Amino acid sequence: MSAAAGIDDVRSAARRLAGIAVETPLLRHPDLDAAVGGTVLLKLENLQTTGSFKIRGAYNLMSRLTPQQAEAGIVAWSSGNHAQGVAAAGAMLGIRTAVVMPEDAPKAKIARTRRFGGEAILYDRYTGDREVIAKALAAERGAETVPSYDHPHIIAGQGTVGLELMRQAAEMSLVPDQVLIPCSGGGLTAGCAIAIKDASPLTGVHPVEPAGFDDTARSLLSGRREINASSSRSICDALQVATPGNLTFELNRHLLGDGLVVTDAEVRAAMRFAFLNLKLVVEPGGAAALAALLSGKLETRGKITAAIVSGGNVDTELFAEIQAG
């Protein structure tokens, strides 16, 4: 297995994040149990600082920069949630931050990135390459880069979600049979899988992706990093990458079960269920694992299934339109 990150790194990240990241709730609700015929535990990272799990990895990496690196500032690239995590971590640590973001990112994500003190640099996600733009800008400024998923400290930081989930489940005297995780570049999935498998080797871990952006699911089947079609579109703005990360896929191919794929219609239905039944505001990408549960993508009857709700940063107009059906 890759030496990119291990359980000791995840535990180290948890110590570093104490008092920084919120320990988010692990929710069990009778409506959800009834809907799937089993026990469901939802890890609510939509209630995290900045509205998603991304502060965990960003702070874990940025807090380890040398004084010289911190002084030079950082440049990152993100569809919006990592941007907010980077900007918030920068505000806490006194580090200047700039983030390359798609111009069609949710307005709330761009606005909150700027509110946290980050510089938002917009580009066209369908004609530009955010990583290339960001690395060129970093070289021009002499700044450090903070990748959104393919870095050991990012992976370890995101893995603290899984560490908390398994501990909280144990406190409820429950051991999940399976855990579903929204997946983009694979940092959250890889980090959590490390922690989950350490606590319970027999627990299955499944990445969940939107249709058209199922690169991890296809890569797990083929054994090599697959690429999504450039024409793919999805409502799940947070889960759109071209291919899995190098480091993340090296970990995930050893740790994950089959990948699951959900449609935009299934994601919309999950967002409605979360709001109407659970009183939760969830963004499309954050609802992917819940959508897989509710649409029967795997067997849940009589099982204990955990799912991560990875974010809640959604524009009010889109949220209202989805709730209206």
Q: Hey, which residues are catalytic here? A: 54, 310
CA distance 304 to 291: 16
- 261, 293 Cβ separation under 8 angstroms: no
For residue 127, the one-letter residue type is T
CA distance 40 to 29: 8
E-only strand ranges, 222-310: 260-262, 304-309
Query: Which position has the token pair 């809640």?
Result: 312
Please list, in sequence order, all residues whose beta carbon lies within 8 angstroms of the beta carbon of residue 218, skipping any fewer than 6 positions away.
226, 259
- 77, 133 Cβ separation under 8 angstroms: yes
Structure tokens at 253: 């191919």
